[in-house]
Amino acid sequence: MTAYMYAALARLKARMALKRNFSTALLLCFLCELPSLLAMVFLMMSLSDFSQEITDGIHEQGQAYVDKLRQMTIDDLYMQMDHGLMVAAIICAVLSLILVFLRLSAIHSQFKLLRGEDISPKDAFSRLDQMYKAIGLVICRAVLMVLWLLPGIAIAFLGSLLSVGSGGDSVSVAWVGMQATIMLSFGALLVFGVMGYIRYIFAEYVMADKPETGVFASIREGRALVKGNSGRVLMMLISFIFWYLMISFVSGVFSGIIGTVISMALSIVISLYMSTCIAALYEQMHQTEEEARKVIRDPNGTVE
């Protein structure tokens, strides 16, 4: 079978599994997304306070305040917003580390659905005893991802030096060089970022599936699963591009609180679906081609 077919079968099996208990699976996914949601709320509150401050200033000082705003630079505006952004970032980082075990618990519940087992809300704490290992895994993956991005950063830096050196006194040549540098930088970071993400995508799934596995063992086993199967993972990630573009479209059409709420709701649902698809792909890596095809014949999507 082709990589596309393997990814399609994994998505089919994931949909079958989620139909068994979608509401509970969605609740568990919501809990693991809670830190980023809270950070978004704090960010919105910061922007709301900043907007109210501008409104009050215009109301009290009139044209003098408008003239003051016109003289402010972008950096000045960021400085006024820094407090709220800093609070949001700190809260997001701390909660993400403390509650990272919820991510493993959600993945564990998705494995149970894929294997035909029942899940309940108490499964949110099924991997509480792995909190410290989960924190270690997050930190190690972050370091590895930075290392994978270093070649892309180096290419971007080299491109910027070349564009500056070749521009001369011609504004048009300098402008073309800057545009080429931006495209080169974005492309290099995207390619190396995707390669690193695919390489370590199964690490948390290994830890969720095998609680006794340590941080480095999970990374090594996850990397071994990807070896020779990166095409399947890439096809799976590509298949979700449309859904995330749809979220961007919705947030652009619906502005304000309504757009934010709709976007967050869609993000949680798509995140649950994507995570379950990757869990199905993880299961698939341990199967033969005949066992992978079994999902077509078995209406329950379970593996005997």
SS (H, E, C) the chain: CCHHHHHHHHHHHHHHHHHHCHHHHHHHHHHHCHHHHHHHHHHHHHHHHHHHHHHHHHHHHCHHHHHHHHHCCHHHHHHHHHHHHHHHHHHHHHHHHHCCHHHHHHHHHHHHHHCCCCCCHHHHHCCHHHHHHHHHHHHHHHHHHHHHHHHHHHHHHHHHHHHHHHHCCCHHHHHHHHHHHHHHHHHHHHHHHHHHHHHCCCHHHHHHHCCCCCHHHHHHHHHHHHCCCHHHHHHHHHCCHHHHHHHHHHHHHCCHHHHHHHHHHHHHHHHHHHHHHHHHHHHHHCCCHHHHHHHHHCCCCCCC
Listed as ranges, residues in the chain with pLDDT below 70 are: 39-54, 65-67, 69-89, 91-92, 159-181, 255-256, 288-304
Predicted confidence at residue 128, as pLDDT, reads 86
Predicted confidence at residue 220, as pLDDT, reads 93
Predicted confidence at residue 34, as pLDDT, reads 76
Predicted confidence at residue 100, as pLDDT, reads 83
Predicted confidence at residue 288, as pLDDT, reads 62
Predicted confidence at residue 250, as pLDDT, reads 77
Predicted confidence at residue 151, as pLDDT, reads 81
Predicted confidence at residue 279, as pLDDT, reads 95
Predicted confidence at residue 49, as pLDDT, reads 62
Q: What is the pLDDT of residues 33-70, one digit of tens each?
A: 777 777 666 666 666 666 666 677 777 777 776 667 66
Q: What is the pLDDT of residues 119-148, one digit of tens each?
A: 999 898 888 888 899 999 999 999 999 888
